Amino acid sequence: MKALRSVRTSYRISGFTLVEVTLALGLVAFCLIAILGLIPVGLDSIRDGNRQAEASRIMKQIATGLHAAHADEDENYYLVAAGTLGEINWKVGDPEIGPLTGMMTASGTPTSSVADAMFSYSITIDPPADYWVTGRALIRIAWPAQAVWNGSGWDKSTGNVTSLVLFSAK
């Protein structure tokens, strides 16, 4: 009899009860639901990071265009950038220009189509007073394209980048 009791006792100790299994499954399910709840937050962060990287690339493109500007025979400087942004011009000694606002695609090309636009931009250019000083340009890019520059900040914006660019007349 003693041997039979010890086998029964060890059998009872070595297994899990239904309550323990149910609690373990409940804990695992709770953790999985919490992790799945974080997926949308992570996707939003990735999307915002991509927008910021694209806007920074476009900003660099515009800054490079300012640095590459050369005067024509009438001493007009033109922004060397994608699309119609190249039509922005100034002369040494001109007063401040801007803010010039609009929408642009992901490649940095200005557009008037809300369907194609991904970003809004605002560019203010303060040309150099003479050939010995630097000019300044304040470039602001916001997303989504429905963002509007109100003179002191962006309305309807989920994110933005701003850069001050110094340039000289050549």
Q: What is the DSSP string of 74-142?
A: TS-EE---SGGGGG-EE-TTPPPEEEEEEEE-TTS-EES-TTT--EEEEEEEE--SSTTSEEEEEEEEE
User: For 42-63, how does the pLDDT look when each residue is reduced to its tens digit (9 = 90+)?
Assistant: 898 999 999 999 999 999 988 8
Query: Is residue 32's pLDDT more than 80?
Result: yes
Query: Is residue 23's pLDDT more than 90?
Result: yes
CA dihedral sign, ordered 67, 72, 75, 78: negative
pLDDT confidence bin for 5, thresholds 50/70/90: low
Where do the structural domains in the chain lie, given as residue ranges? Answer: 36-168
CA distance 61 to 73: 25
pLDDT confidence bin for 70, thresholds 50/70/90: confident
